[in-house]
Amino acid sequence: MLFSILIAHYNNARFLQTAIDSVLCQTYTNWEIILVDDGSTDHFETILENYKGDGRINVFRNEKNYGCGYTKRKCTELASGELMAFLDPDDKLHPKAIAVMTEAHTKYPVHSIVHSTHYICDENLGIKRVSDYVKPLPLHTPYLMVSDGRIHHFASFKSSCYKKTNGISGEIRKAVDQDLYYKLEETGPVLFVNEALYYYRLHEGSISNFGKELETSIIHYSIIREACKRRIKKLKSGENPKEDWVRKYRSRYFKMSIFYWSRKRNWLYTLYYLFLFPFNGGLRNIISYLQKIPSEGKVLLRKTFVTDYEIR
């Protein structure tokens, strides 16, 4: 079974060799690398000279910088594997990563996504800790209903499931993986493997350290809203619409709309959705929220309307 490692690269030459070498060191050997460069201006081509003789490493270039969504979508379109997974060019894989994922996908043929947990590392890939937010989904709860980053690196998926979706959106530049996970979840169950199979590097050039979380959260909330509308439409078009799930997704849509518009500082729309939320399944949620205010006060309000909420 061919496994495609997808690398969307942009100006990460100083880390790229480590990422590629971690694939070369895999215990599972039936793999290919699809690397698409998104108009880099660094010396990444010098790094790639070291791998010219390896036919498993396939390099493509965008004619200009199109962004993360476009580049990741192109990676999937160029891949030949029955299984696929993204490897960020500044991270690396555990030697058993592909083997563990392939075995799990073989054992669970109906699952669309199989994901593990990961190590959070410093700039030199020194391990700081194992991620504390990557975990299995609650029983009978879709990922769209939690949206808390628990599906994360190392996340692999079946090509057959991906082809049932409309694919990664080429227009979005952030929260691209979340868009992918919501779409894949609509084609099959999600399986969690409780092993750290990925090394996630934190460094100065990463999104995590540069205050771009607000922009990312706005895009993520927009993605969630679109996913809710997509699922509601699909449920309503079926012969036996599941009204309970229609209500749940509608409530989710209104809740995310509150966060979306508050992040954009549009208080008129924020109040509009806040007013409608109780009439769309949100009354219990609001009561629970109000009960927390006496103990959490400004911290809770800041978390809700200023900093990130449900985003990791």
How large is the average pLDDT for residues 217-232?
94
pTM, 2 dp: 0.86
Residue 2 pLDDT:
98
Q: pLDDT tens, 273-295?
A: 999 999 888 887 777 767 777 77
Parts of the chain belonging to CATH 3.90.550.10:
3-201
Percent above pLDDT 70 for the chain: 91
Q: Nearest CA to 197 among 268, 300, 119?
A: 119
pLDDT at 239 over 60: yes
Q: Give the model's pLDDT for residue 186.
A: 95
Give pLDDT, residue 285. Answer: 73
Q: Give per-residue pLDDT as tens, 181-197.
A: 999 999 999 999 999 99
pLDDT at res. 257: 95
Q: Are 4 and 156 in contact (CB under 8 A)?
A: no
What is the mean predicted confidence (pLDDT) over 155-176? 93
- Both tokens assigned to 50: 């070291």
Residue 208 predicted with pLDDT over 50: no
| 33-37, 234-238, 256-260: which is most confident | 33-37
108-120 burial, b at 16+ Cβ within 10 Å, e below that, comes to: eeebbbbbbbbbb
CATH fourth-level superfamily of 3-201: Spore Coat Polysaccharide Biosynthesis Protein SpsA; Chain A (3.90.550.10)
**For residue 300, what pLDDT band results from cuts at 50, 70 and 90?**
low
Percent of the chain at pLDDT exceeding 90: 67
Give the model's pLDDT for residue 244.
86
> In the structure, what pLDDT confidence band is assigned to residue 309 with cuts at 50, 70 and 90?
very low
- What's the pLDDT at 281? 82
pLDDT in tens, 2-49: 999 999 999 999 999 999 999 999 999 999 999 999 999 988 889 999
- Res. 310 pLDDT band, cuts 50 70 90: very low
Amino acid in position 79: A
pLDDT digits (tens, 9 = 90+) for 72-117: 999 999 999 999 999 999 999 999 999 999 999 999 999 999 999 9
59 pLDDT above the threshold of 70? yes
Residue 35: predicted pLDDT: 98
